[in-house]
Copies of this chain bind each other. A is one copy, B any other.
């Protein structure tokens, strides 16, 4: 097993996003059982000036989609940010995972030394491919994935660390 950029991006995003989709399923089960309006969870925030759950999920998807696309030398598609339900957020995740599968893994593997230019705030950021993955895409992806998970757990949904990690290739004994 070599260590490659495609493996450190595509498989990481796919496992993390699929885990988030299961977390949203559990959130849906919780709101149904407790007769809580799902909009309460969708609008919940960890701090007044942090994103609500809907935006955390959208942005986690976008860091995966845009990061992997730029490393592959592809133009990332723009997804409309119009999700208003847990099911629609799950569709956003599914659409992202399907898109990730279309990317050229070999192009991503060859991108470590390439200069990547990307939108950043009102301007642009530029980093070598390996740095972009290690120090921008992955920390941002995990930031929003963790924030989404923490909002759901804060609201009382019974989830644990294994729900965050998802279907990872591990032997437990």
- List residues of A (148-170) whose CB comes within 8 Å of B's CBs: 149-150, 153-154, 156, 161, 164-165, 168-170
How big is chain A's contact interface, by range? Answer: 35 or more
Which residues between 4 and 21 of chain A lie within 8 Å of chain B, taking CB atoms? 4-5, 7-8, 11-12, 15-16
B-side contacts of A153, CB under 8 Å: 46-47, 49-50
Q: Are A165 and B142 in contact (CB under 8 A)?
A: no
The answer to the question of A113 belonging to the interface, with a C-beta cut-off of 8 Å to chain B, is yes
Chain copies in the assembled complex: 2
> What is the minimal beta-carbon distance from A125 to any residue of chain B, in angstroms?
5
Cα A134 to Cα B7 with chains together (Å): 8
Check A135 for interface membership: any CB of B closer than 8 A.
Answer: yes
Tell me whether A31 is interfacial, beta carbon within 8 Å. no
Please give me the 6 A-B residue pairs with the lowest Cβ-Cβ distance, nearest first.
Answer: A142-B142, A146-B146, A135-B168, A3-B112, A126-B171, A3-B130
